[in-house]
Amino acid sequence: MLRTPIVIVNFKTYVEATGERALKLAKLIEEVSSKHGVHSAVCPQQADVYRIAREVKIPVLAQHVDAIVPGKNTGWVTPESVKATGAVGTLLNHAEHKIPIEQIKKTIDLLKALGLSTVVCTADVEESRKAAAFGPDMIAVEPPELIGSGVSVSKTKPEVVTGSVETIKKINPKVEVLCGAGITTGDDIKKAVELGTKGVLLASGIVLAKDQRAAIEDIVRGIAK
């Protein structure tokens, strides 16, 4: 179950978060976030989900699933397989894995039927508006040009964040809003929360940090009460 305020860390396909390194990082995120009383979740690669979900207590999300049912679908990822690995849900529509808007709805419906959570990534206010109508658990607003840039959207494009929060809440007040793209410090998260979000989705700011523990400490302090 996903609870807010939350820090969600996307491992992407970085070698620093693959295999044994992925498990080590997940345990580190769990340790640090638990120490500060902050909710956290991790999104490892599909091949690492099963092991990580069984060795940590924090929620584990897949990075993507496909809008298909079990059967003759070689190379695709079913919602059922994600649930079987121990994941609580998935990211959808990340800037690095965009899907058609109608496919977002279909996938969310399949996930809901299985009791799985969805965190839909959106690029701007308009895409946030469309996604909110489908009733995902969370929407993470991430202008694609800032992803991995180290330049925080919460500081450089606050209007995208506040506009998305306002739009999403008008359409579906139950949808929690997160902030992503360029988040690297605790100050970035403080600003994101001030703009009305309930947490952040980030990747390289932690995964590629020279000192991952120090980076996680800084991030969670930014959202800790």
- Which residues are designated catalytic? 94, 142
Task: Count the Cβ atoms, other than its own, within 10 Å of residue 59.
Answer: 21
Q: What b/e readout covers 191-217, taking b as 16+ CB neighbours within 10 angstroms?
A: bbbebebbbbbbbbbbbbbeebeebbb
CA distance 59 to 53: 7
Secondary structure of residue 99 in the 3-state scheme? coil
Q: Where do runs of H (alpha helix) occur along 86-137?
A: 101-113, 125-132
Output the six-digit token pair for 116.
């799985």
CA distance 49 to 56: 11
